Structure 1
Amino acid sequence: MNHPAHKQASTINKCQRIVHVVQHLAPGGLETMVLELLKQATREEQVFVVSLEGELEHALKHWPQLQRFDSQLLFLNKKQGAQLSLIRQVCDVFRQLQPQVVHTHHIGPLLYGGLAARLCRVPVRIHTEHDMWHLNDNKRQKVEDLALRIVNPILVADANKVQQQLAELYPYTAPTVIKNGVDCNRFVPGSQAAARRILGLPRDVKLIGTAGRLEPVKAQAFLIKAMARLSKDTHLAIAGIGQLEAELKKLSKALNIDDRVHFLGLVADMPSFYQSLDVFCLPSICEGFPLSPLEAQACNIPVVVTDVGAVKETLCPLSGITTKSNRVFSLISALETALKTKHLFSPRDFVVENNDVRLMSRAYRNLVTQG
């Protein structure tokens, strides 16, 4: 177990101590949202993140943004499968930190972190559901039902659709909606030419971009297949790493478009990535309330997304386009429309008004004061 809790406890007695519990602190939408809450902490707040899985050194290596917060990160190195002894480990962490607030994210952290918080009599317990696809499984539904009844947290949904599903599954709850936010001071419009130069992308082309783990659920293969039927002056930039990288590169080559598909790996400068684009596309077959469409729109880039989960709630209604998942020709049509449309309005305005990270942080802070 990697954690500096015993070193920190004596220095934070005068601060409100908030502990977020996640399954695995690695690049992803949920984890990025937690990191943003860490960044938004006030001087009166001391915020820690407990990652049930993983190790500190590995996390810092693969997500450099974590380095400035390394003294606030605790990794418990959980193995696969149920591990009841982990509740005791989490309790030990809570007894050392003595948090006033424990905030869990997803079902695993609710079980281990939520139960530990209840056992340690943490005054305010918050649980955020970031998507509902995992509760399609009947066993998971029952496990979450039991955990919610025992932990009795302030229940938060990150989208209206998630709130509706929670209320249907667990009618005794009263979930509040707090939508995820992005840093609109970081994700801003910029020079397309300069951004392409920074990333080594071609200058005089139409550029579609997508960002996310290279995994089946993100469905980059459908986007590559759509690319093969778009005009030859259209290129695709893919930001992200994952198990399908070799397979996706092979597909691009088989379709004779490997010169038009640019695999950028894990991009540290995501604002430049979005600024380089003409259109951002998220072709996923399953999502919760993703951050990438918000980040792209904050950079004033129009987006095309598949209508899954609560993705539609991330879209500027004046510029965003939805399409069906797993439908290449539907995706082609949506992308062609997005590329040829000249917008007279700003998708950034929608994000600034509805999804700035400071709005999200303030909403969670208000929950704590009310709790």
Structure 2
Amino acid sequence: MKILFCINNLGVGGAERLVVDDINEMLNRGYHVRLLTLKNEPKFSLLDELKLPKKYRQTVSFSSFFNIFNWIKVFNYLRREKPNIVLTHLWFSNTIVRIVCKMARINNVFCFEHNIYDTLKSEKMYKIDRFLQEWSKKIIAVSSAVRRSLLKHGIKEKNIITINNGIVISKYEKSQDILTREKLGIPKDTFVFLTIGRLVYQKGIDILLKAFAEVNHKSTLLIVGHGKEEYNLKKLTTKLNIDNTVHFLGTRSDIPKILSICDCFVLASRFEGLGIVILEAMASKKPIIISDFEAGEDIIKNGVEGLVVPKENVESLKNAITRLKSDPNLMKKLAQSAYEKVQDFSIQNHVNKILNL
């Protein structure tokens, strides 16, 4: 069986992480795997973690959606490879590959939807999605919340299946990396909070900064990621007078090490598709605080696997941070429950569900 994965590129992100881990797991099982990317790799990429030999990777770099010559290249590539299953990720790839597969008479196409795109997709994009929905065998929603969003925007229930994300759990089962902590200049007696994600409005990092500003005594907040809100967030940090206790680390390739040195993981997002970083924190045995975005219901129950607070509520987030920081027993209890729960979200289970489609 030959399985083709299609995505824009392998720039650092949740969808890209899932593609790399799925491919590596399928290679471990002896499947014939191919990768088609439709844009050049950015500076920060997960490509180095991919075990797929270069000869089985193909890039057709689209400078625009209407590059006809590249559409022909994709068509010729698909006809040549003749994949048994095609798995596409993200809107640009989902759209182009579904259309070309229809032209090439390739029927086993499955499209992943990774986010709550209510405010991210234009109406034109939704119209294209509704038109193309019959051109894939199934649309895979990564959470119950994503499924509900798809239904709201006109995707038929019969065309949707929910498959939660998965991770390589063993990668995150690490003891604290003392060297990484020292390199970041974090004193031993400092309580470390961590958040990971694109620095965009969706992630609610402004809310986290405001909450942290009220409880930052002997604490440090690490922020991993980059994005268009970085300047504004750094400006807010200065305004809140917490420059010395907040560290913007940019994009990192050593997420397991960074997770190992934190004492608590926080995700204050306004909305999420599922949030692979939550699974990574769970596998790292870290106590977790999240906001009550819809997708969180699939993985975190308040008071069991973590603490859940209302979205955009600085006071509630501050109280949760204070509560966890002052209660080591609660931290340990939540972390252990989260670790037990994340076993259901292994990359092995994820691949099994794909292969059983």
What TM-score do the two structures reach when normalised by structure 1? Answer: 0.84
Equivalent position to 2:283, from 282, 294, 298:
298
1:213, distance to aligned residue in structure 2 (A): 1.8
Separation in structure 1 between the aligned mates of residue 200 and residue 245 of structure 2, nearest angstrom: 21
Equivalent of 2:48 in 65, 71, 74: 65
Q: How does 1:267-278 map to 2 (within 5 A)?
A: 267-278=252-263
Structure 2 partner of 1:349: 340
SS of structure 2 residue aligned to 1:310? helix
Show CA shifts across 1:278-307 (max 9, x none). 110112223211100110111110111122
The answer to whether the 8 A contact 1:218-1:286 is kept is: yes
The residue number in structure 1 matching 2:351 is 361
Rounded Cα–Cα distance in structure 2 between residues aligned with 1:312 and 1:128? 20
Whether the 8 Å contact between 2:16 and 2:46 is mirrored in structure 1 is no
Do 1:316 and 1:350's aligned partners in 2 also have CA atoms closer than 8 Å? no
Moved more, 128-137 or 285-294: 128-137
CA distance in 1, matches of 2:261, 2:186: 8
- Deviations for 1:81-139, whole angstroms, at most 9, x for unmatched residues? 55555432321221222211111123322221012112222242112222232487543
After superposition, give the CA deviation of every residue in 1:18-37 in whole Å (9 maximum; x if it has no partner).
11122343111111111111
Alignment partner of 1:280: what SS?
strand
Give the alignment partner of residue 108 of structure 2, picking from 124, 130, 134: 124
SS in 2 for 1:267: coil
In structure 2, do the counterparts of structure 1 residues 80 and 222 end up closer, same or farther at CA, with 3 Å as the change threshold?
Answer: farther
Taking a change above 3 Å as real, the CA distance of residues 64 and 172 of structure 1, as seen in their structure-2 partners, is closer
* Cα offsets for 1:223-260 (capped at 9, x unmatched): 22222111411210111223333433333233221111
Q: Which amino acid aligns with 2:351?
A: S
Hey, what does 2:223 align to over in structure 1?
Answer: 238
Give the Å deviation of 1:329: 2.0
Q: Which residue of 1 aligns with 2:324?
A: 338
How far off its partner does 1:205 sit?
A: 1.1
> Which residue identity lines up with residue 337 of structure 1 in the other structure?
R
Q: Does 1:208 align with 2:218?
A: no
One-letter amino acid of the counterpart of residue 132, structure 1: I
CA distance in 1, matches of 2:58, 2:314: 43
Pairing partner for 2:125 from 130, 133, 140: 140
Task: Give the stretch that moved more between structures: 78-87 or 258-267.
Answer: 78-87
Aligned match of 1:315 = 300
Amino acid at match of 2:221: L
Q: Percent identity?
A: 23
**Residue 199 of structure 2 contacts residue 230 of structure 2 at CA under 8 Å; is this kept in 1?**
yes
- Are 2:35 and 2:57, in contact at CA under 8 Å, matched by a contact in 1? yes
Aligned length: 347
Secondary structure of 1:185's counterpart equals helix
Matches within 5 A, 1:183-194: 183-191=168-176, 193=178
Partner of 1:224: 209
Instruction: Provide closer, same or farther for how the CA distance between residues 35 and 62 of structure 1 changes in structure 2, counting only shifts above 3 A.
Output: closer
Secondary structure in structure 1 of the residue aligned to 2:227: coil
